[in-house]
Amino acid sequence: NADAAMYRAKELGRDNVQFYAPELNSKNQEKFLLQEELRNALARGEFVLLYQPQVDLRSGRVFAVEALIRWQHPTLGLISPMKFIPMAEESGLIVPIGDWVLHEACRQNKAWQDAGLPPMMVCVNVSARQFKEPNLISRVVNALKDSGLEAQYLELEVTESLIMQDVDMAVAMMNELQGLGVRISIDDFGTGYSSLSALKTFPVARLKIDKSFINDLATDKNDQAVASAVISLGQKLHLRVIAEGVETDDQVEFLRRNNCDEMQGYHFSKPISAENIAELIDKVRGSG
Ligand code: C2E
Ligand code: MG
Ligand code: MG
Ligand code: MG
């Protein structure tokens, strides 16, 4: 099948002069092959979700997990979403893939609850293309209905740049989602251009400080300024603030000192399988 895709790539490239530039050639071919295979990956069950815990900085409790997709490619191994999500956006495949993520994350969260774990939220990333789909609402309703998960245990993560593409549309959509009882957070906060005056009209529950501001938090004065400004902004707007990409004790220390609410990062746990989440929660519970 890979050979067939390669052959088609060549066929399609026949009249495309650029295609024969040596460098573009191999790059384009690789991309084309992946794009072809991405089309089949869903039907072949090649996607998996990992989950990364989010921890309350005061109580130490895991109150949520973020679902993060991986593509288990039969020959290339595990492929990062950074590589295939942009491709899926481009081709529109993100819509069925995103729908699968939504269903799977809700199903898994309900399964944890049914197994006796304390109820937590599952956070699902939603990309711009998915958000613009007119039937996003009914897709969310269906995922909740099919899984039996209560809406309050689902959160959707959208980015600032997604919202800013069309603020009115985004606010209308977010209001509808909120009406269902689903929560919304703003991912990668600080990297986009959301107007601060617009922010207070957004029906969102949380801001996620982008990890680019967390990396050098222990030493970089500018990052410290941005992080503490986002934390106070959140407090003033009555939004919870979570720091992502937290890896070190120093970073945790800074966040605690500045009254950040929550954290997510390798310091507590990398993204792990659903089974390992159940184990980890049991352990945290056991140790008080
Ligand atoms: P994101 O939503 O901002 O997710 C956080 C990313 O930071 C994840 O990368 C996570 O593994 C990584 N991360 C978490 N803690 C740390 C840390 O302490 N240090 C470092 N260096 N990294 C950390 P991942 O899983 O590779 O996902 C990358 C991006 O792909 C996500 O960024 C999100 O934008 C997108 N993505 C992932 N899953 C989905 C999905 O199901 N649907 C959509 N539309 N996008 C997704
Ligand atoms: Mg996210
Ligand atoms: Mg993020
Ligand atoms: Mg990010």
pLDDT tops 70 at residue 21:
no
Measured from the alpha carbon of residue 126, the closest ligand is: 1
- Pocket of ligand 1, beta carbon within 6 A: 52, 67-69, 80-82, 85, 98, 101, 125-127, 157, 187-188, 211, 244-247, 264-266, 271
Closest CA to 186 of 140, 117, 151, 234: 234
User: Are 231 and 258 spatial neighbours (Cβ–Cβ below 8 Å)?
Assistant: yes
Question: Which numbered atom of ligand 1 lies nearest the CA of 68?
Answer: 38
- Give the tens place of pLDDT for each residue, 188-232: 998 887 777 788 889 999 999 999 999 999 999 999 999 999 999
pLDDT band, residue 112 (cuts 50/70/90): very high
pLDDT confidence of residue 5: 47
What is the chain's alpha carbon radius of gyration, rounded to the nearest angstrom?
20
Helix (H) or strand (E) holding 147: helix 136-147
In angstroms, the Cα distances linking 71 to 51, 65, 83, 270 are 14, 19, 10, 17
Closest residue to atom 22 of ligand 1, CA basis: 245
- Give the tens place of pLDDT for each residue, 226-284: 999 999 999 999 999 999 999 999 999 999 999 999 999 999 999 999 999 999 998 87
Measured from the alpha carbon of residue 242, the closest ligand is: 3
Q: ipTM of this model? A: 0.98
23-56 in b/e form (b: 16+ CB < 10 A) is: eeeeebbeebbbbbbbeebbeeebbebbbbbbbe
Question: Which numbered atom of ligand 1 lies nearest the CA of 266?
Answer: 18
Instruction: For residue 51, report the distance from its CA to the centre of ligand 2, in Å.
Output: 11
Closest CA to 99 of 58, 54, 130, 55: 130
pLDDT confidence of residue 7: 46
Which of 54, 66, 68, 189 should be mutated for ligand 1, with most atoms under 8 A from CB? 68
- Give the tens place of pLDDT for each residue, 119-172: 999 999 999 999 988 899 999 999 999 999 999 999 999 998 899 889 999 999
Closest residue to atom 12 of ligand 1, CA basis: 245
Closest residue to atom 21 of ligand 1, CA basis: 245
Whole-prediction pTM:
0.91
Residues surrounding ion ligand 2 at CB below 5 Å = 125, 157, 187
pLDDT confidence of residue 142: 98
Closest residue to atom 9 of ligand 1, CA basis: 68
Token pair recorded at residue 157: 């993560």
| Residue 240 burial (CB count, 10 A) | 18
Closest residue to atom 7 of ligand 1, CA basis: 245
**Any idea which residue has 């699902």 for tokens?**
124
Measured from the alpha carbon of residue 185, the closest ligand is: 2
Measured from the alpha carbon of residue 208, the closest ligand is: 3
pLDDT band, residue 25 (cuts 50/70/90): confident
Closest residue to atom 33 of ligand 1, CA basis: 125
Distance, in Å, from the CA atom of 204 to the CA atom of 174, rounded to the nearest integer, reads: 8
Closest residue to atom 23 of ligand 1, CA basis: 245
pLDDT confidence of residue 282: 84
Instruction: For residue 24, report the distance from its CA to the centre of ligand 2, in Å.
Output: 31
Q: What are phi and psi of 215, to 5 degrees?
A: -40, -55
Question: Which numbered atom of ligand 1 lies nearest the CA of 50?
Answer: 25
In angstroms, the Cα distances linking 69 to 78, 145, 182 are 10, 22, 20
